[in-house]
Amino acid sequence: MKPQRFALTPGEPAGIGPDLCLLLAAQSQPHPLIAITSCDLLTERAAQLGVAVSLISVTPAAWPDVPAPAGSLYVWDTPVNAPVVAGQLDKANGSFVLETLTRAGQGCMDGHFAGMITAPVHKGVINDSGIAFSGHTEFLAELTHTEQVVMMLATGNLRVALVTTHLPLRDVADAITVERLERVTRILHADLVNKFGIARPRILVCGLNPHAGESGHLGREEIDIIEPTLARLRSEGLDLYGPLPADTLFTPKYLEHCDAVLAMYHDQGLPVLKYKGFGAAVNITLGLPIIRTSVDHGTALDLAGTGKIDAGSLRVALETAYQMAETHS
């Protein structure tokens, strides 16, 4: 595969994102990887960690076409608003985090990057800065003018996509509409084909209620919404199986014969996936006109600057973005 440029955003500057970037620099990547962050921040964190790394400043005026040598990292310098102390949040840097995401996302839209990989942000401190922010997924949807996106996490051969994401549990049932379920299912199917190269993906669909509603005795969402929607999509050729009770769907009997699971809400599907592969999983945003992958963990403020971190999830996110770009190209 011809080398393509990718953007890397370190997320919350007081968290482990900068540390992860520095760990990645120890080994050469197969593609030019551009960290969009503050050179001063990385220099200070490298000194704190005792890591020797050469930071190579780059700009849109002269993007590199070859990977950085081992022990070095390309950086598109994006200054922080306030000094950063590892482990200590500062709302003054909320707009800095969003600027790095904007540069990466717009760079993908403009064709400068084949995809973007994101380290974790801290939603609370961005909101404390006076900026309404519900997450990477929603921010990138707005940036790219995308009406509907889908969150999917993957580890090994298990992929779990979500019909709803960051909603209070009491709001989930009302959010499971025919329109939303149909849009999400179509996006999941299309991106499994176009970005993962699966010719005819088989998707297992969870029910919303315990025992998938128990024939209506434990809720009617399966009967009134989920089953009719899946039947209509099957008539168009989509390979969908369900709705199945979530407590038995995640067993080898079913999983070994599927390409993805569609869960109705966040804590229905993700606990299983993270139990299986936490630290080696990747978060993927489907439905965007760009490729975006991310780590499966948070900012880990207590570990920032300590050197006691594992870059496994970020490496999986990188590898997944590279593979998706090759399939999508």
Annotated binding site for substrate: 136-137, 274, 283, 292
- Tell me the C-alpha distance between 46 and 44, whole Å: 5
Which string of DSSP letters, residue by residue, matches 39-74?
HHHHHHHHHHHT---EEEE--GGG--SSPPPTTEEE
The terminus-to-terminus CA distance of the chain in angstroms comes to 10
**3-class DSSP state of 151:** strand
Q: Which two tokens stand for residue 196?
A: 């993962």
The annotated binding site is made up of: 136-137, 166, 211, 266, 274, 283, 292
In the block, residue with structure tokens 């973007």: 116
The annotated binding site for a divalent metal cation is made up of: 166, 211, 266
For the chain, state the CA radius of gyration: 20
Q: Which two tokens stand for residue 55?
A: 């930071």
- Tell me the C-alpha distance between 109 and 95, whole Å: 21
Which amino acid, one-letter code, is at 210?
Answer: P
Whether 183 contacts 285, CB under 8 Å: no
What count of other Cβ atoms lies within 10 Å of the Cβ of residue 186? 16
